[in-house]
Amino acid sequence: MNLSPDQISALKKLISFKGYDEIDVQYEILDHVACRVEVLMEENPKLSLEEAFRKTHSEFGIFGFSDLEESYKKGIQKKFQSRYWAILRAFFTSYRVIYLFLLGWALNFISKNFTLFGEKLTAPGWGVIGLVITVIFFLIYYYRVGRQFKNYAVFKHAFSFMWGMHLILQLVFHGTKYLTGTQIPMEVSFEGIMAWITISAMAIGWISIFLLPKIIQEAAEETQKLKTIYES
C-alpha cells in the first residue's frame, strides 16, 4: 500500500509535534519514517497511523529522530563550508579582487581629502566606518531575503556566518582607537600590534561582505527548491 497525501501530511504534523520545526528537517525525517510506517501498516492492517508512528519513533531509541536531524544539519554545515571556501578561491582568482584595491584607494583618497567632524582619520579608520555602515545594510538585505525561508534549516545555517562577522566587528570596534589618529602606529608596540590586528580583522570583514551575499543567494535558491518540493 502507498501512504495517501493526507497520511503524509499527518506524519509531518506528528514529526513537528516532536519538536522538529524546520520544514526541510521534517521532510528529511519523513523520508525515513514514511517507509517504516508503511511497512508496519502492511504487516498489521489494524495498526493506526499514529500507532505506527509511535512504534517507528521508539525504534530510534531514547533520542528519537535526533540522530537524523543532527546528520542532516552536519551535512548542511559541511556543504556551506565547502561553498564558502570555493567562493573565496573564486574571488581571489577573478577580476573581482580588484574591488579590494579600489576600496583601498578610495579610503586613502577620503582620508587625505575629508574629515569627520573636523577630525582627520587614517584610511583604516574610514574603513571601519564604511564596514559598519555596510554591515547594517547587509543585515537589512538578509532580513528581506530570509523572511520567506525562516522555517528552513538550510537557510538558517547561512546566518551562522554572521556570527563570524559579529566577532570581527567586536575586534574592529575594540581596535578602532588605534586607527582614529592621523597616523597608524608602525612601531613594534602594543598599540602597533593592535592596530595591525584591527586592520587584518577589517580586511577579513570587507572580504566577507563581498562573499556573504553570494552564499546567502545560493542558500536562498537551494531553499526555494526545497520549498517548491515540500510545500507544493
Q: Summarize pLDDT for 38-65 with one digit per residue, the tens.
A: 889 888 888 888 898 889 888 887 777 8
Residue 49's identity, in one-letter code, is L
Whether 99 shows a pLDDT value over 70: the answer reads yes
Burial 147-171 (b: 16+ CB within 10 A, else e): eebebbbbbbbbeebbeebeebbeb
All structural domains of the chain with their residue ranges: 5-64, 76-230
The pLDDT tens digits of the residues spanning 215-230 come to 777 777 777 777 776 6
Residue 206's identity, in one-letter code, is W
The pTM for the full model equals 0.62
Whether 12 shows a pLDDT value over 70: the answer reads yes
